[in-house]
């Protein structure tokens, strides 16, 4: 299957909100109560969140579409908001990279990551990301691109604390 990746625009915010909720729920929804998941999705995957990212000149948002034009994945990057210990100035973050199940294992995740890293390298001196502790598939992808684990922390999904890794791009 062939995919195209394009820059998102503010008019994509509604679609990104739905895609963000769908991909997050498909990947991690089983970990949370319905209340915590709904609370997280309302706050973290609202139309306003994606509209703001698309308007922010310091951020990048990309949409991956299949041959029929159906959105099957996306990525978001921008200034670092992670709790990095002693975070240096001018730090950027891969904030999100999600695919629908049908697009996993196709190489699309690596393509989105490469585009996102190009954007971040052009704008930031240091690059970070957060990944769920038990998401070994994503961890291996990030490690192949030069990310190393630097710290453990907890990411809140509603009232649920997820064990996460902070990773930093080294030598890349």
Q: Which residues pair with 7 in a beta bridge?
A: 62
Q: Report pTM.
A: 0.94
Is 155 in contact with 134 (CB distance < 8 Å)? no
Confidence of residue 137 (pLDDT cuts 50, 70, 90): very high
The pLDDT value given to residue 1:
80
Q: Which of 156, 167, 164 is nearest to 133 (CA)?
A: 164
Please give the share of the chain, as a percent, with pLDDT higher than 90.
98
pLDDT score recorded for residue 104: 95
pLDDT class of 171 with cuts at 50, 70, 90: confident
Please give the pLDDT value at position 30: 95
CATH architecture of 4-169: 3-Layer(aba) Sandwich (3.40)
pLDDT at 156: 94
Report the first-to-last Cα separation within the chain, whole angstroms.
29
pLDDT tens column, 44-97 = 999 999 999 999 999 999 999 999 999 999 999 999 999 999 999 999 999 999
Q: Which residue has the tokens 């509209």?
A: 51
Cα 92 to Cα 28, 113, 121, 127, distances in angstroms: 24, 14, 8, 5
Mean pLDDT of the chain, nearest integer: 97
Confidence at residue 62, expressed as pLDDT on a 0 to 100 scale: 99
For residue 172, pLDDT beyond 70:
no
């Amino acid at each position: 299957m062939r995919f195209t990746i394009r820059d998102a625009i503010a008019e994509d915010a509604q679609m990104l909100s739905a895609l963000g909720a769908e991909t997050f729920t498909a990947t991690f929804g089983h970990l949370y109560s319905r209340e915590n998941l709904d609370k997280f999705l309302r706050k973290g995957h609202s139309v306003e969140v994606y509209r703001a990212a698309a308007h922010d000149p310091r951020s990048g948002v990309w949409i991956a579409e299949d041959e029929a034009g159906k959105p099957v994945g996306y990525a978001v990057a921008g200034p670092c908001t992670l709790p990095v210990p002693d975070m240096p100035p001018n730090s950027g973050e891969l904030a999100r990279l999600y695919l629908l199940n049908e697009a996993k294992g196709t190489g699309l995740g690596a393509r989105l990551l490469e585009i996102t890293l190009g954007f971040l390298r052009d704008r930031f001196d240091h690059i970070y990301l957060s990944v769920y502790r038990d998401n070994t598939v994503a961890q291996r992808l990030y490690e192949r691109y030069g990310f190393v684990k630097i710290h453990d922390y907890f990411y809140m999904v509603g009232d649920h604390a997820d064990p996460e890794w902070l990773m930093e791009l080294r030598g890349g």
